[in-house]
Amino acid sequence: QKALVWLRRDLRLYDQAALHHALKNSAQVWLAFIFDTDILTPLLESESTQDGLTPDRRVDFIWQGLELIDAELRSQGGGLIVRFGKPIEHIPLIAQELGVETVFTNRDYEPSAIARDAKVQAALAKLGIGFEDFKDQVIFEKKEVLTNSQTVFSVFTPYKNNWLKRLQTSDIAANDCEAKPGQFAAIPKKLEMPFPSLESMGFCPTGIEAYLPAGSEAGQQFLEDFLTRIDQYQIGRNFPAIKGVSYLSAHLRFGMLSIRGLVREAHRRMLAGSMGATTWLSELIWRDFYFMIMANHPRLADGVAFKPDYDNIQWEAGPHAKKLFKAWCEGKTGYPLVDAAMHQLNQSGYMHNRLRMVVASFLTKDLGIDWRWGETYFAKHLNDFEFSSNNGGWQWASSSGCDAQPYFRIFNPVTQSEKFDPDGKFIRRYLPQLEKLSKKSIHAPWEVGHIELEAAGIVLGRDYPLPIVNHDEARKNTLVRYSVVKKPA
Ligand code: FAD
């Protein structure tokens, strides 16, 4: 038996379900990854540098992860087959050339990916080649955690309780991926091609490796580091200026780490009484929850609100809305915490969870901008962009989602700043022009007296913007804007 493992968002060679099954069933195993032009062409069209190459951190991160996999396979006599094009064309061709009986892959839950996989499966069937897919990205799939009446949950806490009740050791056991000597077979000459460079695909290096090194080994190091801090997670996670969270989201997003491994670590510590691990596990369950929601409500991929009456809201429109949105994107709203957060995103592709909630609330409820604009901006810039969690997060913040916060709960960006960045340390990191303001003044520079501003060397409107909106007025407008929806019970 010969097998091809088609890698997608499972870029690792350990505890990987499709690889485990391929190795178990086949004497020879090859692995392939396709840089999918259906996904990459829009990125290439949206932005380019002067020399015509596009810097995209995620493409760079994936590319570096693949190089590591290729090197590991080569050390075992194999090699990774990498192509740039459409999976529907390349996968059947590669499978046929290799003469494999089966293509193994891990299930993807986004509607467009499901449609892609169905097409590839049909094309393979025409060639007499099998297609087997496995659960790998999540602990529980769309209908595995149900209410007592066998319906799908739409509220998180009871979902989480049932998820935990249902969890067995076997759900988080690692899949053995040990290959026998020679099982990773050499790439046949006719398929051997140089590893495509980023430039050959229209992209350029981004320097991401300086702060986010790709691959399972780097991911494992991030995890080890986090495990020394996990017991304080329930407190530390709220403060963006300190290292309180795990920073594992991009490795998890591209499957450089196994979700089973992370849940095992958290669950064991939870049973030993760690509050931090209990809270962290709950966050990993949110991830499963949003995958489950998207899988059961694929209409979400069409841009609709989870609660349909929220699609009656009249968002700001026209040039004024565009101007406000631009200021938000560029971190020029005049609200320091919001602006620092947007700078963090623009500079690194990461944004702390507390800040994602703050800026999403600010965009929708202070600026009155459609949450879909923010969702799209995040989708383009986040290293860990994940359709289900991103859509879930935006609909939570704008109150249109399942189990979202009620619309009349509106974050005050100044209070949030005082509470979660009390010393202004995070703000100073991204807005050095505010460096000299005191920790009391830094959250709302427009309220600072002339003498202090002058001493800090700041002219508002020149060195730092005046607020583009008045929060109290915006709050009132939002309550009117949202009056078209039914008040939650
Ligand atoms: P940690 O706090 O260490 O959490 C560990 C892991 O748990 C994360 O890596 C993630 O996989 C999962 N997780 C944590 N919080 C959530 C959550 N609220 N929902 C779902 N999973 C969660 N997360 C993404 O992975 N991709 C996104 O595109 C994304 N977009 C978001 C958009 C908005 C508006 C909001 C409010 C949240 C979004 N999140 C998204 C969730 C969360 O902000 C990130 O997962 C988290 O900040 C990643 O950093 P970390 O790995 O250090 O998190």
Which ligand 1 atom sits nearest the alpha carbon of residue 385?
28
Closest residue by Cα to atom 35, ligand 1, is 393
| Same-domain pairing of 358 and 467 | yes
- The alpha helices in 382-458, defined as continuous H runs, are 387-397, 413-420, 425-430, 450-455
| Same-domain pairing of 286 and 345 | no
> Is 283 an annotated catalytic residue?
yes
Per-residue pLDDT band at 256 (split at 50, 70, 90): very high
Q: Is residue 268 part of a domain?
A: yes
| Same-domain pairing of 319 and 448 | yes
Which ligand 1 atom sits nearest the alpha carbon of residue 248?
51
Q: What is the pLDDT of residues 109-123, one digit of tens each?
A: 999 999 999 999 999
Residue where one domain finishes, among candidates 255, 271, 296: 296
Closest residue by Cα to atom 3, ligand 1, is 246
Q: Is residue 212 part of a domain?
A: no
Q: Is 384 helix (H, G, I), strand (E, B) or coil?
A: coil
Q: Is 159 annotated as a binding residue?
A: no
d(CA 342, CA 365): 17
Cβ atoms of 127 and 100 closer than 8 Å: no
Residue where one domain finishes, among candidates 237, 269, 296: 296
Which ligand 1 atom sits nearest the alpha carbon of residue 247?
52
Closest residue by Cα to atom 4, ligand 1, is 283
Distance (Å) from CA 329 to ligand 1 centroid: 20
Per-residue pLDDT band at 45 (split at 50, 70, 90): confident
In degrees, to the nearest 5, what angle opens at C-alpha 64 toward C-alphas 60 and 65? 115
| Same-domain pairing of 479 and 436 | yes
| Same-domain pairing of 379 and 278 | no
d(CA 252, CA 280): 14
Which ligand 1 atom sits nearest the alpha carbon of residue 379?
28
| Same-domain pairing of 344 and 419 | yes
| Same-domain pairing of 145 and 67 | no
Q: Is residue 236 part of a domain?
A: yes
Per-residue pLDDT band at 486 (split at 50, 70, 90): confident
Q: Is residue 453 part of a domain?
A: yes
Q: Are strands 28-36 and 54-55 parallel, antiparallel or unpaired?
A: unpaired
Q: Provide the number of structural domains found in the chain.
A: 3
User: Looking at residue 282, what is its pLDDT?
Assistant: 98
Q: Is 114 annotated as a binding residue?
A: no
Q: Which of 328, 373, 394, 396 is catalytic?
A: 394
> Is 353 an annotated catalytic residue?
yes
Closest residue by Cα to atom 28, ligand 1, is 385
Q: Is 290 annotated as a binding residue?
A: yes
Q: What is the pLDDT of residues 423-435, one digit of tens each?
A: 999 999 999 999 9
d(CA 342, CA 331): 5
Per-residue pLDDT band at 72 (split at 50, 70, 90): very high
Checking 425-432 for CB contacts under 8 A at 24+ apart, the result is 425/241, 426/239, 426/240, 426/241, 426/337, 426/340, 427/336, 427/337, 427/340, 429/241, 429/340, 430/331, 430/339, 430/340, 430/341, 430/343, 430/344, 430/347, 431/331, 431/336, 431/339, 431/340, 431/343, 431/464
Q: Is 446 annotated as a binding residue?
A: no
Look up residue 397 and give its amino acid.
A
Distance (Å) from CA 400 to ligand 1 centroid: 18
- Flag whether pLDDT at 47 surpasses 90: no
Joined tokens for residue 444? 């709302």
- The model's pTM is 0.97
Q: Which of 162, 238, 296, 353 is catalytic?
A: 353
Cβ atoms of 474 and 411 closer than 8 Å: no
Q: Is residue 186 part of a domain?
A: no
Distance (Å) from CA 72 to ligand 1 centroid: 30
Distance (Å) from CA 386 to ligand 1 centroid: 9
Q: Is residue 178 part of a domain?
A: no
Per-residue pLDDT band at 487 (split at 50, 70, 90): low
Per-residue pLDDT band at 101 (split at 50, 70, 90): very high
Cβ atoms of 397 and 371 closer than 8 Å: yes
| Residue positions counted in the chain | 489
| Same-domain pairing of 463 and 329 | yes
- The alpha helices in 76-110, defined as continuous H runs, are 87-98
| Same-domain pairing of 329 and 376 | yes
> Longest C-alpha distance within the chain, in Å?
79
Q: What is the pLDDT of residues 365-419, one digit of tens each?
A: 999 999 999 999 999 999 999 999 999 999 999 999 998 889 989 999 999 999 9
Q: What is the pLDDT of residues 278-327, one digit of tens each?
A: 999 999 999 999 999 999 999 999 999 999 999 999 999 999 999 999 99
Q: Are strands 102-106 and 54-55 parallel, antiparallel or unpaired?
A: unpaired
Dihedrals phi, psi of 413, to nearest 5 degrees: -65, -25
Cβ atoms of 158 and 151 closer than 8 Å: no
Q: What CATH number does residue 119 fall under?
A: 3.40.50.620
The interface predicted TM-score (ipTM) is 0.99
* CA distances, 304 to each of 26, 55, 370, 371, 482 (Å): 44, 30, 11, 11, 16
Q: Is residue 188 part of a domain?
A: no
Which is higher by pLDDT, 49 or 50?
Answer: 49
Q: Which of 89, 296, 315, 452 is catalytic?
A: 315
Average pLDDT over residues 193-203: 93
Distance (Å) from CA 233 to ligand 1 centroid: 14
User: Looking at residue 240, what is its pLDDT?
Assistant: 98
- Flag whether pLDDT at 50 surpasses 90: no
Give percent of the chain above pLDDT 90: 95
Residues whose beta carbon lies within 6 Å of some atom of ligand 1:
237, 245-249, 252-253, 283-284, 286-287, 290, 353, 356-357, 360, 378, 382, 384-386, 389-390, 392-394, 397
Q: Is residue 81 part of a domain?
A: yes
Chain centroid to Cα 333, Å, comes to 25
Give percent of the chain above pLDDT 70: 99
* Domain of 255, in residue numbers: 138-173+218-296
Which ligand 1 atom sits nearest the alpha carbon of residue 290?
20
Q: Which of 63, 371, 373, 396 is catalytic?
A: 371
Q: What is the pLDDT of residues 22-41, one digit of tens each?
A: 999 999 999 999 999 999 99
| Same-domain pairing of 359 and 257 | no
Dihedrals phi, psi of 435, to nearest 5 degrees: -40, -45
Closest residue by Cα to residue 70 from 78, 59, 60, 62? 78
Per-residue pLDDT band at 43 (split at 50, 70, 90): confident
> Is 315 an annotated catalytic residue?
yes
Q: What is the pLDDT of residues 318-340, one digit of tens each?
A: 999 999 999 999 999 999 999 99
> Is 30 an annotated catalytic residue?
no
- Beta sheet of 102-106, edge-to-edge order: 80-85, 28-36, 2-7, 102-106, 130-134
| Same-domain pairing of 116 and 39 | yes
Q: What CATH number does residue 257 fall under?
A: 1.25.40.80
Residue where one domain finishes, among candidates 82, 109, 137: 137
Q: What CATH number does residue 389 fall under?
A: 1.10.579.10
| Same-domain pairing of 289 and 326 | no
